Amino acid sequence: MRGTTKFILWSASGAFAIMVIVLLALSHQKIEEGHIAIQYDDVSNTIHDEILSPGRKWVQPDSKLIQFPSKFESYNLNMMCRTRDGLKIDLQITFQYSFTGTELVNSTLELGPIENNINSIGKHVTAAVYQSCSFFDAINFTTSRGLVEINMTDMATLSMDSEHGNTHTTMGSFQLKNYKYPSGFRDAVDAKQKTEQEINIALNQRNGILTAAQTELQKAIEAVEIALNQANATRDTLITEANLNAFAKLAVWNQRIVDLNLEYINLGFTNFTEFITYKRAILVGQSNNAVVSI
């Protein structure tokens, strides 16, 4: 009997010791680096407001430390949207989000486990991007991609705001990584871009041709001006030579007139007709051939 009692005492002591060890183990929990946590007491169904930092913490045995990343996390979103002109476009989007420390309790109470919160983020951003797509025509994704991305960023950020989206998180960077048109539209866009490139090439060539033509025209104008200058110079030279010859001949005839006048006076003729008869007779007399008439 005494042995049985002793065994029971030893068993009770061992069980108590094991229970103490288990309770101590349950009470000493660790928050991983890069995380923050809130404490939830299972028995009393209580969530504490205090935000716990990384490290080992002593809590009640029935408590759980619900951990959240304290840094920005990445989310990759593959989805389809419909544009303003009714075209379906496949999108690849990546964005970053972070949990707001003061919202961790509300997040847990309203959405449950962290996975539910992450799913909620994806749904809100998907809806915001889908709505943003409806503001643009399909071609805008090619011609105004930056503007499309800015609009998506603004709407996605607004959707995650605690006042509007109630995701209890904050938006970080947002990027429209890629988009894909339906094959037929993609071919049409490629053809349009090719045509625009060919037009630009033709315009550039046209400018080159016009420049060359203007250069040749300028050369021709300069050549005509040179030819005109040369023709004017030649004309002036010919006119000058003709005037000199004319003046020389005129001087000769003037001198002959003077000589005849002197001869007329010196011979003492009083009648010019007699002087002409005299000169005619001299000319006939000096002639080697028979003179018919003068």
DSSP letters along 37-60, please?
EEEEETTTTEE--PPBPSEEEE--
Cβ count within 10 A of residue 181? 20
Q: Residue 292 is encoded by which pair of tokens?
A: 């018919």
Q: Is the entire prediction scored with pTM above 0.85?
A: no
Cα→Cα distances 52→24, 58, 63, 170, Å: 19, 11, 13, 19
Could you state, in order of their start, the residue ranges of all structural domains in the chain?
73-181, 251-285
Three-state DSSP at 48 gives: coil
pLDDT category at 24 given cuts 50, 70, 90 is: very low
- Of 275, 273, 255, the C-alpha closest to 265 is 275
Least confident of 8-17, 185-194, 252-261: 8-17
CA distances to 36, 105, 111 from 165, rounded to whole Å, are 22, 16, 13
Q: Give Cβ neighbours of residue 248 (< 8 Å, ≥ 6 apart).
A: none
CATH architecture of 73-181: 2-Layer Sandwich (3.30)
pLDDT, tens digit (0-9, with 9 covering 90-100), for 64-75: 888 899 899 999
Dihedrals φ, ψ of 23, to 5°?
A: -65, -40
Please give the average per-residue pLDDT across 98-120, as a whole number: 88
Residue 197 has pLDDT above 80, yes or no: no
At residue 190, does pLDDT exceed 50?
yes
Bridge partners of residue 58, in order along the sequence = 28
Q: Is the pLDDT of residue 193 over 80?
A: no
Residue-averaged pLDDT of the chain: 80
Using CA of residue 97, residue 102, residue 106, residue 108, what is the dihedral sign?
positive
List, for residues 156-182, the tens digit of each pLDDT value.
999 887 555 578 888 999 999 999 998
3-state SS class at 31: strand
- C-beta atoms surrounding 185 within 10 Å: 17
